[in-house]
Amino acid sequence: MSSFLAALLTYPFLSMALLAGGLSAIAGGIIGAYVVTKRIAFISGSISHSVLAGVGLSIFLARCYNITILSPLMGALIVGILSAFLAGWIYLSCRERQDSALAAIWSVGMALGILFLAKSPGFSVELSNFLIGNILWVQRSDLALLALLDGIILITVFFLHQRFAAICFDETQATLQGIRVKSLYFLLLTLIAITTVILMQVVGIILVLTALTLPSATAGLFTKTLSGMMWLGVLIGLACMFFGLFLAYTWNFPVGATIALTAGCAYGIALGMKSKRIGKRGI
């Protein structure tokens, strides 16, 4: 551990990676609590995987036509928000067939992204970085964008948390209370898209859903309030980011996969602890 802490002070890329992980944990812990509570992980997965289309398009335009106005992160953000609105419309309008429609968003988005990347020079490296993550390549401009997106999430949740909580627990009751359920639902999915882009920088597109749900799901085993799940989820996410980065540095593992595996282990341990407590009460 001492060598890792020394490396954090010595190598700027490592300290920036840790900072990016921290920003991601904040967004993931807060928005992940809504995702877990409302049980919309599959919708979130559709959004998170579809962003590859935006990444692929931005790289294709830059490599083949020298159009650099659209960065991979911005491309992912735009497509993520569009996918969020499409997923929201499907959820509200086509509930009987929503699984198939959401799976189509998931698969078509990834397919388009792979096609764009396949037509871009050097696509294999880019594809690997965005699919499994490469937090060690985070630049200062990326950190600035991540901080801005985190700020948008925090400000929105600060003002609308009670209304988001209402639609997460009971949409019918929220409607009777005069809450604009549909508008808030679309806004919540937009925040999920923003969080997806933040987490994509750390763990990659494939593992975004893990980083988005597991810290909050782990927190939900220890607290019964939504706000408690949020803040405990942030702390668990920060711990997973730190220890995942530490293990990856120590054993030369892929960083994104190691962070996701750390989150999975934390959830497994917490689940075992809760099962043990329940077993003792039963006895």
Residue 269 lies in a domain: yes
CATH number at 163 reads 1.10.3470.10
Residues of the chain with pLDDT > 90, as a percent, come to: 57
Residue 282 lies in a domain: no
The dihedral over CA atoms of 220, 223, 225, 230, expressed in degrees to the nearest 10, equals: -60
Residue 20 lies in a domain: yes
Residue 246 lies in a domain: yes
The amino acid at 248? A
Report the alpha-carbon angle 260-90-88, nearest 5: 60
Per residue in 198-229, pLDDT (tens digit) is 998 888 888 898 999 999 999 999 998 999 99
Give the pLDDT confidence score for residue 261 in this predicted structure.
Answer: 94
Distance of CA 228 to CAs 231, 234, 236, 239, Å? 5, 10, 12, 17
Residue 283 lies in a domain: no
Residue 221 lies in a domain: yes
Q: What range does the domain containing 94 cover?
A: 2-277
Closest C-alpha among 76, 106, 84, 104 to residue 184: 84
For residue 127, pLDDT over 90 is answered with: no
For residue 243, pLDDT over 90 is answered with: yes
Lowest mean pLDDT among 23-37, 127-141, 160-174, 252-266: 127-141
Instruction: Count how many domains the chain has.
Output: 1
Q: Coil, strand or helix: which one is 254?
A: coil
Residue 223 lies in a domain: yes
Residue 18 lies in a domain: yes
Reported pTM: 0.91
